[in-house]
Structure formats: structure tokens, C-alpha cells
Amino acid sequence: MNERSDFEDRLRQARTRQGLDKRPEGRGSLPPGPWGIGLRAGVEVVSALVVGIGLGYALDRWLGTWPWLFLVFFVLGSASGVLNVYRLFNPRKTPRAN
């Protein structure tokens, strides 16, 4: 029994090495280390805020409702900034084909 499971282990390792089996984790191979993660999270928050503020400002200019939509979209932008950072660490669960 022991010998058999050992063989299975080695077979799996060999198959993975040859690229026959997909590696279990393909995602999240972004720059490692605290600086990489920190900078990425910062960029995600700021970019969501920029989009939210820009959208709110543009809609206000169009509809003449300054500053109400701006305020609403500012809050929504901050929320999606938090969502982006959450996604960074917990990607969407995807039924990957493996």
C-alpha cells in the first residue's frame, strides 16, 4: 500500500514536471513581496476612486446636478476600491477547466 501511494506521488510529480497535468494554482503569480503587493493594492484603490470621481463629475456636468452625483459616485468609487483589493487577495471562484 505504502509503495503504491509512493508510486502515485512520483507519477503525479513527473506528470506535472512534463506539463501533462495542469499546475493547481496558475493565478496570483504577480510580483511577490510586500512592496509589490502594497503598490498593487494602492494602484487598485486609487484607480477605482479616479473612475468613480470621473464618472460622477461627468454625469453632474451633463445633468446639472452638481454636487450630488459626484458625492454618490465618490462613495461608490471607494467601495469598489475596497472590492478591488478584496479581489486581489480572494480572486473570483472560477470553475477552471482542470
Which residues are CB-neighbours of 64 under 8 A, at least 6 positions away?
Answer: none
Cis check for the bond before 34: say yes or no (omega within 30 of 0). no
Any contact of residue 2 with other proteins (CB under 8 A)? no
Q: Which residue has the cell 446636478?
A: 65
Q: Which of 9, 13, 23, 63 binds other proteins (CB under 8 A)?
A: 23
Any contact of residue 69 with other proteins (CB under 8 A)? no
Nearest to 41 by CA among 83, 88, 76: 88
Point out which span in 6-14, 46-54, 59-67 binds other proteins (CB under 8 A).
46-54
Q: Which is nearer to other proteins, 6 or 83 (CB)?
A: 83
Point out which span in 9-17, 58-66, 81-89 binds other proteins (CB under 8 A).
81-89
Joined grid coordinates for residue 59:
454625469
Q: Which residue has the cell 506528470?
A: 15
Point out which span in 1-9, 10-18, 22-30, 58-66 binds other proteins (CB under 8 A).
22-30
Q: Which is nearer to other proteins, 34 or 95 (CB)?
A: 95
Any contact of residue 96 with other proteins (CB under 8 A)? yes
Nearest to 48 by CA among 86, 92, 78: 78
